[in-house]
Amino acid sequence: MINRQNWKLSKKYLNYRESVDQLSKGSLGIEATYNRYLLEWAGENPFRDASLIRPALPEFLLKTRLDGNEEILSANYIKKVIGNARRFFRWLTDNQKEYRSITNYWMSTLKPKRIHEPPKKNEVITLDQVIEISKAKVENTIERRIRAAAVFLFLSGIRIGAFVSLPLEAVDIENKTIKQFPDLGVRTKYQKYAVTYLLPIFELIPVISGWDEHVRELLPGSGYWFAPLSPWTGEIDPLCTSIGEHRQNIARKNLNVWLNKVGLPYYAPHKFRHGHIHFGIKNSENVADFKAVSINVMHENMDTTDKIYSRLRESDVRERIESLGEKRITKSGNDVEEMELFKEFLDWREKQISRNLE
């Protein structure tokens, strides 16, 4: 049974995160789940006795899931739950007098236990698959819209929430420019502003430029690129001027249904973002290229891109390893330049590692 006072404190904390830290509704929902693990761990024990609760939180998380799945939580998820726990207890000691007995030393013991997980299959959509999608037959407006959406997601690397809220005035296909501006109604993560750019893959551009021209014939600049469709006609509805909070679910459903219909494997919208980033990383020739990819997907820094997205596919690893023997170092100008670029990358990585160890 969950301690009622603990539950009230959890609600109060989430309200604080929303009103003071300005978390989005999506992020609040995620933190509410993290807090649920804390509540289940404490059970009937008040949070002020947290240091006495056994098993300790890291051990508890190795044996507990809230979704009924029998597998243990991933190391990354456990790390996020524990990180949230540290934030929560710091807030508790800073804002609730009766909880100041919780020490900084105890909070420093909240660390995930090391888990040796088997390598994960790195699921990203590839350029070849997106080209196949771009050539798939469409029979009506809803299918034409979702085909254009799939190609757009790959070329831009945009998050699905931002994509479905893009007004036409934020999209410039000719100049391959996207204005991800919250004041235009674009629902970006953490309300960030950025101008981002489409990959210059010219065999894909006609799919999105054709849809772009079609939408602009019917809607004003404030209309949505992922245009709302009439439930009665199935065509673009020029009278629909607003969208719901969960509109991204429509895009997910449409994508699933259409890819299944044309016999293509389903990839969630975020896998198209992964594909965009992997394509950019694979084709980067130096640190400047890598940084451009990171900035274009609105990451806080290159370390975020490197940690989360730079795991190479097995075929890429093999290709690169086999090519090493063909790249013996000589004194030619190109080789010297290549070595300088590689040294630049190694210097950057060393700085990132040092920063993480501090």
pLDDT tens-digit readout, 59-112 = 999 988 888 787 888 888 899 999 999 999 999 999 988 888 899 999 999 988
Distance CA 64, CA 247 (A): 32
Q: What single-letter amino acid sits at 321?
A: I
pLDDT attached to residue 287: 81
Looking at per-residue pLDDT, the higher value among 339 and 197 belongs to 197
Largest CA distance in the chain: 72
* pTM (two decimals): 0.70
pLDDT attached to residue 329: 47
* CA-to-CA separations, 14 to 8, 10, 18, 46, 81, in angstroms, rounded: 10, 6, 6, 18, 14
Confidence check: pLDDT of 229 > 50: yes
Looking at per-residue pLDDT, the higher value among 226 and 292 belongs to 226
pLDDT attached to residue 11: 95
- Mean pLDDT for the stretch of residues 41-61: 93
- Mean pLDDT for the stretch of residues 6-29: 90
Confidence check: pLDDT of 310 > 60: no
- Mean pLDDT for the stretch of residues 232-247: 91
- Mean pLDDT for the stretch of residues 232-236: 93
> Domains of the chain: which residue ranges?
4-108, 127-273, 328-358
- Mean pLDDT for the stretch of residues 239-250: 90
**181 falls in which pLDDT band (50, 70, 90)?**
very high
- Mean pLDDT for the stretch of residues 209-237: 95
Distance CA 287, CA 194 (A): 21
Distance CA 50, CA 128 (A): 52
pLDDT attached to residue 100: 85
Least confident span in 42-51, 327-336, 344-353 = 327-336
- Mean pLDDT for the stretch of residues 28-32: 91
pLDDT tens-digit readout, 318-345 = 565 555 555 554 444 555 555 566 666 6
Distance CA 126, CA 274 (A): 9
pLDDT attached to residue 23: 83
- Mean pLDDT for the stretch of residues 160-178: 96
pLDDT attached to residue 331: 45
pLDDT tens-digit readout, 288-301 = 888 888 889 888 77
> Percentage of residues in the chain with pLDDT exceeding 70?
82
Mean pLDDT, rounded, of the chain: 86
Least confident span in 84-93, 131-140, 281-290 = 281-290
Tokens 């084709």 map to which residue?
283
Confidence check: pLDDT of 224 > 80: yes
Q: Does domain 127-273 have CATH number 3.50.40.10?
A: no
Helices (H), the chain: 4-19, 25-42, 57-61, 75-95, 104-108, 127-135, 141-156, 160-163, 205-218, 248-261, 269-282, 287-296, 302-309, 314-324, 333-357
